[in-house]
Amino acid sequence: MNKLVAIVGPTAVGKTQLALRLAQDFNGEIVNADSRQVYRYMDIGTAKPKLSELALVPHHLIDIVNPDEDFGLAQYQALANRAITDIQHRGKLPFMVGGTGQYVRAVLEGWVIPSVAPDHEFRLGLQERVERGEAAELYQELVRVDPVAAQNIDSRNIRRVIRALEVSHHTGATFSGLQQKKAPPFDSLIIGLTAGRTELYRRIDSRVDIMIEMGLVEETKTLVSMGYGFGLPSMSGIGYKQIGQYLRDELTLEAAKEQIKFETHRVARHQYNWFRLSDKRIRWFDVEGDIEAQVREQVSRFIVN
């Protein structure tokens, strides 16, 4: 069975719950495509599936690296492809589930990713410039050396801007030019979940409230006590960054919570740049309706055909 079902869409739209039900019904296993859920010990702030949910269906690429370890797109793609092949060879249906568009598209489109190892000294120099307030200048450098890459990278996504400059610096070629594509060895069905902005923001805000109630503050304190500082990419993500500001008395807890909601709204909007409603490859379903039967029918047809 050389088939793959991808379930994509913005954060908090309901991908995890739908995937769990579909994987149980179609003899499937889930491959995580969320860039934050790969980290161990970071459960509440990344909205990882609960242990009871993980027990229902085999999951792959969750809790695979420590928060202070490097983990990039090339590593994800290699591990995801390996997991997908293994699932298929065992006669099961892989469901790739998550909102990290770069991860999903790298697998579905067969990106050939530049094999440039991280240069920590080079990155540190660029990061120091960011801390001096030169983030906009860095992005303009990327516009000059690789306008195609710049067009596809949010100027606020400093990590991706730095990576594109790093690849260009070490290879003398453009980051975009090195990202070729090779068709993957499977057929794919892409299910997209969406919701109106008011409903999506309501779901996001509710999730953030629940995270605080579940102990996001305590989880962040535990991570810090384990030696994971807020300078790490994993710890500077939404949720942990704002709770860190609260722990340093830079924000009240209520203000931190509101900032988490605001930043997550922004991420959800950005995710629609990766998963466009106009993309004909994606079968879109509005979660404000009763969609499960329709999605099941799509998956059934895909398997048969």
**Stretch 261-279: mean pLDDT, rounded?**
92
Residue 173 pLDDT more than 80? Answer: no
Q: Match 């004909």 to its residue by tokens.
A: 280
Whether 106 and 168 share a structural domain: no
Please report the pLDDT score of residue 124 as a whole number. Answer: 87
Q: What is the rounded CA–CA span in Å between residue 158 and residue 162?
A: 6
Whether 165 and 97 share a structural domain: no
Whether 22 and 127 share a structural domain: no
Query: How sure is the predictor about 178, in pLDDT bands with cuts at 50, 70 and 90?
Result: low
Please report the pLDDT score of residue 47 as a whole number. Answer: 97
Whether 95 and 202 share a structural domain: yes
**Stretch 159-178: mean pLDDT, rounded?**
81
Compute the mean pLDDT over every residue in the chain, rounded to the nearest whole number. Answer: 93
In 3D, which of 160, 118, 155, 164 has the Cα closest to residue 134? Answer: 155
**Stretch 58-63: mean pLDDT, rounded?**
98
Residue 177 pLDDT more than 70? Answer: no
Cα distances (angstroms) measured from residue 98 to each of 39, 164, 192, 213: 14, 23, 10, 24
For residue 263, give its domain range: 3-113+181-304
**Stretch 138-166: mean pLDDT, rounded?**
88
Whether 191 and 251 share a structural domain: yes
Terminal CA-CA length for the chain: 11
Q: Is 39 helix (H, G, I), strand (E, B) or coil?
A: strand
The predicted-structure confidence for 81-101, as pLDDT tens digits, reads as follows 999 999 999 999 999 999 999
Whether 84 and 212 share a structural domain: yes
**51-60, 102-111, 167-176: which range is least confident on average?**
167-176
Whether 89 and 31 share a structural domain: yes
Query: How sure is the predictor about 179, in pLDDT bands with cuts at 50, 70 and 90?
Result: low
Q: Give the number of domains in the chain.
A: 2
Residue 74 is part of a domain; what is its CATH number?
Answer: 3.40.50.300
Whether 52 and 125 share a structural domain: no
Whether 199 and 300 share a structural domain: yes
Q: What is the rounded CA–CA span in Å between residue 268 and residue 280?
A: 20
Whether 93 and 212 share a structural domain: yes
Q: Match 């500082």 to its residue by tokens.
A: 229
Query: How sure is the predictor about 157, in pLDDT bands with cuts at 50, 70 and 90?
Result: confident
Q: What is the rounded CA–CA span in Å between residue 97 and residue 9?
A: 9
Residue 159 is part of a domain; what is its CATH number?
Answer: 1.10.20.140
The predicted-structure confidence for 271-300, as pLDDT tens digits, reads as follows 998 898 889 999 999 999 999 999 999 999
Contacts of 176 (CB under 8 A, 6+ apart): 146, 148, 149, 152, 164
**Stretch 109-136: mean pLDDT, rounded?**
86
Whether 49 and 91 share a structural domain: yes
Please report the pLDDT score of residue 154 as a whole number. Answer: 84
Please report the pLDDT score of residue 181 as a whole number. Answer: 85
